[in-house]
């Protein structure tokens, strides 16, 4: 699929990781700036939750199509063009904020367009990881990409987004747009061709989609992981979509200190990315997955019950570290079990379920906050549901190994049947 360069050291992983890191920094700035912008236009928790729902709705609508697309085209080129598209959309948003012509409905439109481009960029970028890392470095590579995501989106992007928004509302959107341009340029250093089955006879898009879904239907372990991932996303987003209201209303933080609150979450996320491979080596993937979901639940339940800024920030850091460890396990299992030529389609189906659950959770979280009267109560409910989910995962995965040979035997059988 890919052509290596003649360089004595293969730097393709570094180029992809650098592009991902800058893209995540830009995304992190936007993920703080957009909710803060929304709170200047409305304080309705349902409308705030609808913003998160709008950002992730494209995964529900176009996730499968995006996955099939990145299995048919050069994945590097698809990721590059998607980043350019995101830059253009945010650039236009910057003009709207600067001129004062922005409205909550235009914010929703921008969020929908960004989410659509993200389905291509994320699917292509994730499918590129095994091609540039190799099977022997998957755990390490996924940990690095998770660290880059946390570092960019929370550790750096959150404080930068909130601080620059406090100075000048259009400033973070300008930085966001420029960041995606840099991320696209860095992909030019990723030498080689990354089109699966290059030279094969053309196939119909519908047939490709059916092949991918049929493969997933014959892989019982992957199906269970999709369900667990989807429920984890839904229960977690109940609270995460309300994070800005929790920080501003329940904890009485300012717009600027909201980013510093998220900064502590970034520290936890980096710790989780660093520890995940070691924990997997010590205990195996399954205990890290199930234990991580349980700790996520304990952290959110604690945030809902103890609404003190320092305690809440520490618990948010614990949540971030745990959810990163969970994501490392899920991503590595997915890369190890799915054939490279089907990775885009299976990933599209995976994220249609998992990321499609996020807008559902966001809308339910907004309604729950309105019903219960505070975002803190929603955090408590989210936490207890995640604890219950960890309990559900124990029997659901009992007869499967995420690391041992039988899982790979299942993978090969499914590949042969395909």
What pLDDT sits at residue 402? 77
Distance, in Å, from the CA atom of 322 to the CA atom of 91, rounded to the nearest integer, reads 34
Closest C-alpha to 326, from 282, 278, 287, 270: 287
What pLDDT sits at residue 390? 97
CA 207, 213, 215: angle at the middle one, nearest 5? 100
DSSP letter for 398, please: T
3-state helix, strand, coil in the chain (%, to 5): 85, 0, 15
Distance, in Å, from the CA atom of 168 to the CA atom of 174, rounded to the nearest integer, reads 11
Using CA atoms, how far residue 410 sits from 139, 233, 349, in Å, is 20, 26, 19
Distance, in Å, from the CA atom of 62 to the CA atom of 68, rounded to the nearest integer, reads 10
Structure tokens given for 379? 């955090």
CB atoms within 10 A of CB 193: 12
What pLDDT sits at residue 359? 79
What pLDDT sits at residue 201? 60
Q: What are the phi and psi torsion angles at 135 (to 5°)?
A: -65, -30
Q: Which pLDDT tens digits describe the chain residue by residue (418 residues)?
A: 444 443 445 688 899 999 999 999 999 899 889 988 988 888 888 888 788 778 878 877 888 888 888 888 899 999 999 999 999 999 999 999 999 899 999 999 999 999 999 999 988 998 899 888 877 777 788 888 988 887 787 678 878 888 899 898 999 999 999 999 999 999 998 888 888 766 556 677 777 788 888 888 888 999 999 999 999 999 999 998 888 889 888 888 887 777 677 677 778 888 888 898 889 889 888 999 999 999 999 999 999 998 888 899 899 999 989 998 999 999 888 888 888 778 888 888 888 888 778 878 988 998 999 999 999 999 999 999 999 999 999 999 998 877 643 333 333 333 333 3
């Amino acid at each position: 699929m890919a052509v290596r360069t003649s360089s004595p050291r293969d730097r393709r992983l570094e180029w992809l990781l650098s592009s991902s890191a800058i893209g995540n920094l830009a995304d992190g700035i936007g993920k703080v700036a957009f909710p803060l912008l929304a709170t200047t236009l409305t304080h309705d928790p349902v409308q705030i939750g609808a913003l998160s729902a709008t950002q992730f709705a494209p995964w529900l609508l176009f996730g499968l199509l995006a996955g099939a697309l990145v299995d048919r085209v050069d994945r590097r080129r698809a990721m590059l063009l998607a980043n350019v598209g995101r830059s253009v959309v945010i650039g236009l948003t910057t003009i709207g904020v600067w001129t004062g012509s922005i409205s909550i409905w235009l914010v929703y439109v921008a969020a929908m367009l960004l989410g659509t481009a993200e389905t291509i960029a994320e699917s292509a970028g994730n499918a590129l990881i095994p091609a540039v890392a190799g099977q022997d470095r998957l755990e390490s590579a996924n940990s690095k990409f998770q660290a880059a995501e946390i570092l960019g989106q929370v550790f750096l992007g959150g404080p930068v987004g909130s601080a620059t928004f406090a100075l000048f509302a259009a400033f973070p959107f300008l930085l966001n747009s420029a960041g995606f341009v840099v991320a696209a340029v860095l992909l030019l250093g990723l030498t080689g061709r990354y089109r699966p089955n290059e030279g094969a006879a053309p196939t119909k898009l519908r047939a490709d989609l059916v092949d991918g879904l049929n493969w997933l239907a014959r892989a019982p372990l992957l199906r269970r992981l999709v369900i667990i991932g989807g429920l984890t996303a839904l229960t977690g987003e109940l609270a995460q979509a309300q994070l800005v209201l929790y920080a501003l209303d329940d904890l009485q933080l300012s717009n600027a200190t909201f980013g510093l609150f998220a900064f502590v979450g970034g520290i936890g996320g980096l710790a989780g990315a660093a520890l995940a491979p070691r924990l997997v080596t010590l205990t195996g993937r399954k205990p890290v997955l199930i234990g991580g979901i349980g700790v996520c639940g304990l952290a959110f339940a604690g945030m809902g019950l103890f609404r003190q800024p320092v305690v809440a920030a520490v618990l948010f850091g614990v949540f971030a570290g745990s959810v990163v460890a969970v994501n490392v396990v899920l991503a590595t299992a997915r890369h190890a079990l799915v054939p490279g030529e089907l990775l885009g389609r299976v990933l599209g189906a995976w994220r249609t379920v998992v990321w499609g659950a996020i807008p559902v959770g966001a809308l339910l979280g907004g309604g729950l906050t309105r019903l219960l009267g505070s975002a803190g109560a929603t955090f408590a409910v989210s936490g207890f549901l995640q604890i219950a989910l960890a309990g559900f995962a124990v029997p659901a995965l009992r007869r499967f190994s995420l690391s041992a040979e039988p899982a790979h035997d299942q993978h090969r059988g499914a590949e042969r049947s395909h």
